[in-house]
Amino acid sequence: MSIVVIYFLASALAIGLLALLPVVVISGVVIVFITVWLWQRRHFSHWRRLGVPFIPGAPFVGNVWNLLRGGCCFGDQFRELYESKEADGRAFVGIHVLHNHALLLRDPALIKRIMVEDFGQFLNRFETTDSICDTMGSQNLFFSKYETWRETHKIFAPFFAVGKVRQMYGLLESIGHKLEEHMNDNLKERDRMELEVKQLCTLFTRDIIASLAFGIEAQSLQNPKAEFRRMCIEVNDPRPKRLLHLFTMFFFPRLSRRVRTHLYSKEYESFMRRTMNYILAQREESGEKRNDLIDIFLQLKRTESAESIIHRPDFFVAQAAFLLLAGFDTSSSTITFAVYELARNPSIQSRLRTELRKALQSSPDHRISCDTVNALAYLRQVVDEVLRLYPPTAFLDRCCNSREGYDLSAWNNGLPFKLHAGTPVYISVLGLHRNPQYWPNPEIFDPERFSSEQRQQHHPMTYLPFGAGPRGCIGTLLGQLEIKVGLLHILKNFRVELCERTSPEMRFDPKAFVLAARDGTYLRFVRNPL
């Protein structure tokens, strides 16, 4: 065969292959598409195959598309699922949080079983950070796994007990007076002003946590450029890398080690380590006592054995850093929502200020003690109702850790069903708190729901502003007192009113993990000392 013939045959073959190339590519794409489609169809039919009621989800993203596209916050997303027609009347319902098979619990008795009675089978939260690289994020009470959590909780529970919280009241009151000075400085010669309330409340709660957790004067109220204030803003900055890490921790926790997730940025970690090392050294040398977390740290260093968890790298820094992150934002949001509702309900505000006036007048120096604050019945009712309508942690989660699974047949209309190990369960606190079955006219702000007579009629496990069970919020008493002190020092000098910039309807910020008002909360403060 001549070279010419071979050349022409080879050219013809090449041309034929090139002609087939688009067909091959298209066929490959079609095969991949069909494979992925069949996989996701089978994956998202998980609950149907198990005979479990479920809420249909969108392809690939499951039931959290509204959250992922920035249309709502976590609290709104889980409330939407809680109130769906598929979930109505069910003890639980199957959902998909992205690719994760999960259950949304609805029945209060079942919630009690899982959160309290059978806690041993739901020891951990689903979220996970890198336990090796992220020593600050993985050792705090929220993210730590059970063994670490148990030891840490045992160590710090006394710090948040009634007696210790009472000792902290002096520090809270001192910062409350600085809040009054800050507001008076803003008013100057005026008798009224309009403010964005969350920003004001954040300055107050930030100074409190700085004082309690670090034993320092952060001076957020006095100095807008204070480093501590800047770090508290930075820790919530939605940078791409931080968003990737948080996304992995909440939705792909099994990849946390591979991604090397960190709860905080490097800058925040460096600031916290530097601050804690300085404060511990300074206080150890001076011997000063302030009834704060630093006192506890120093005592533990003197008394705990070398094998204790407290000697792990970054252990103290981890506790202080998370107390700052969790403490200032939740309390400031709650105070903001409280002031907003009081402005919308002048009669309730008037009744509360009357109670505060009587307490101030009955005190010889017009200063209210810790015991008096805790004894103010209507103030407690107002705070409890705010926490019902706007729970800071609007959803809860746990992860099934039982190797044999958790039997839910009795809750599945008698059909056999075991929850597999590793499956997360979610509770919509916002959904429970606004369920008309348990709270008549749930959207109405009504502190009378928490009068002594009404409290006795509350359905158990339908009010969970601080969680429930052993892993409920350890700082409940301190958080409630912080909120009360903030309201006291605002309302003793000012009447709060709606203004033109006040949102007629409260909408939540889709970017915030803790419930927070979208586009700020603007109100008018009128000087009116009690």
The pLDDT assigned to 225 comes to 63
- Report the domain count for the chain: 2
Say yes or no: 121 and 24 in one domain. no
Other Cβ atoms less than 10 A from the Cβ of 472: the count is 15
Tell me the C-alpha distance between 142 and 154, whole Å. 14
Does one domain contain both 33 and 142? no
Residue 58 lies in a domain: no
> In whole angstroms, how far apart are CA 371 and each of 360, 427, 475?
13, 34, 18
CA-CA distance, 429 to 462, in Å (whole number)?
8
Task: Note whether 21 and 119 are same-domain residues.
Answer: no
Q: How far apart are CA 167 and CA 390, in angstroms?
A: 28
Tell me, yes or no, whether 235 lies in a domain: yes
Environment class of 62 (CB within 10 Å of its CB; exposed 0-12, middle 13-18, buried 19+): buried
Q: Is there a single domain that holds both residue 88 and residue 17?
A: no
Exposure class string for 497-515: b at 16+ Cβ within 10 A, else e: beeeebeeebebbbebbbb
Q: Which residues of the chain have pLDDT under 50?
A: none
Which pLDDT score is estimated for 25? 65
d(CA 341, CA 168): 28
DSSP structure string for 80-96: HHHTSTTTTT-SEEEEE
Q: Residue 286 sits in a domain of what CATH number?
A: 1.10.630.10
Please tell me whether residues 36 and 121 are part of one structural domain: no
Within a domain: 127: yes
- Looking at the fold, whether 114 and 35 belong to one and the same domain comes out as no
Please tell me the predicted confidence (pLDDT) of residue 379.
97
What is residue 83's predicted lDDT score, i.e. its pLDDT? 97
pLDDT tens-digit map of 477-511:
989 999 999 999 999 999 999 999 998 899 999 98
96: left (phi over 0), alpha (psi -120 to 50) or beta: beta
Phi-psi region of 111 (alpha: psi -120 to 50; beta: other; left: phi over 0): alpha
pTM for the full predicted model: 0.90
Which amino acid is residue 505, in one-letter code?
E
**pLDDT tens-digit readout, 158-185:** 888 888 888 889 888 988 988 888 888 8
Q: Is residue 49 part of a domain?
A: no
* 323 and 291 housed in the same domain: yes
53 found inside a domain: no
Tell me whether residue 56 is in a domain: no
State the angle between helix axes of 293-303 and 315-344 in degrees (0 to 180), rounded to the nearest 10.
160
Where in the sequence is the domain holding 310, given as residue range(s)?
A: 65-527
In Å, what is the CA distance from 167 to each residue of 2, 223, 489? 103, 27, 19
The verdict on 509 and 444 lying in the same domain is yes
Q: Answer yes or no: do 11 and 131 share one domain.
A: no
Q: What is the pLDDT of residue 290?
A: 79
DSSP state letter for 174: H
pLDDT at 26: 67
In a domain, 240, yes or no: yes
The verdict on 146 and 27 lying in the same domain is no
The answer as to whether 268 is a domain residue is yes
Q: Do 179 and 142 belong to one domain?
A: yes
- The answer on 241 and 117 residing in a single domain is yes
Q: Residue 11 and residue 3: Cα distance in Å, rounded?
A: 12
